[in-house]
Amino acid sequence: MSGVAIVDYGINNVRSVKNAVEYCGFDPVVTHDADAIADASHVILPGVGAFGDAMSNIRARGIDEMLERHVREKGKPFLAVCLGMQLLANTSEEHADDGVAHRGLGWFDADVQRLMPNDPALKIPHMGWNMVAKERNHPVLANIRESNLAFYFVHSFAMRCRDAGDVVGFAQYGQPVTAIIARDNIAATQFHPEKSQDTGIELMSNFLRWNP
């Protein structure tokens, strides 16, 4: 196995993630091909856009089944970013206008809910730099000092995990915001490491060298 598979489900913006992986010295391929995902050493699921549209595309292309096989069953190191992280939840209330939440991949016992900060001065979407408070150590944060855990966020919804053990770090934006989750060979960030300058590149590099 060699290279890094960046999953393309048709509506996610992959260019900045691809550039970050190349900057770390790795050879990424942007793909939704099963063979390319099977051949890759690491898999990244980026994400922008709406939850429901993303899941529809993922299911239409069979990407959910590919990821289940190679990530969950075979244990390939996996990183999900922003909406990609939210897709790992059971459900999302984003655009659930009929009262029925959209169904996610269900890899984490969590739901995605609209941000509702307790300070009216805080705007939605949450856009900009925030510190992340580390709840526990994890290999993707190796050698990053806690005073440097500042990352770039752009989102209006956030994941709420039922199992506190899944949470690696929180941000604060008028409410606690789940910023990093991880279990076994899977890690995910609500922020964009590829847009978070040196600290984000260090996190990305840690992931690409991670062999759980």
CA-CA distance, 54 to 202, in Å (whole number)? Answer: 28
Our answer to whether residue 161 is catalytic in this structure is no
Q: How many CB atoms lie within 10 A of CB 25?
A: 9
Our answer to whether residue 146 is catalytic in this structure is no
Residue of 32, 126, 194, 202 marked active site: 194
Our answer to whether residue 42 is catalytic in this structure is no
Show the CA angle centred on residue 162, arms to residues 48 and 212, nearest 5°: 70
CA-CA distance, 176 to 172, in Å (whole number)? Answer: 5
Instruction: Find the Cα–Cα–Cα–Cα dihedral 95, 98, 104, 109, rounded to 10°.
Output: 110
Residue of 102, 155, 192, 202 marked active site: 192
Instruction: Find the Cα–Cα–Cα–Cα dihedral 194, 198, 201, 203, rounded to 10°.
Output: -110
Residue of 82, 102, 155, 202 marked active site: 82
**In the numeric block, which tokens belong to residue 174?**
């008028």
- The answer to whether 54 and 29 have CB atoms below 8 angstroms apart is no
Length of the chain in terms of residues written:
212
| Catalytic residue annotation | 82, 192, 194
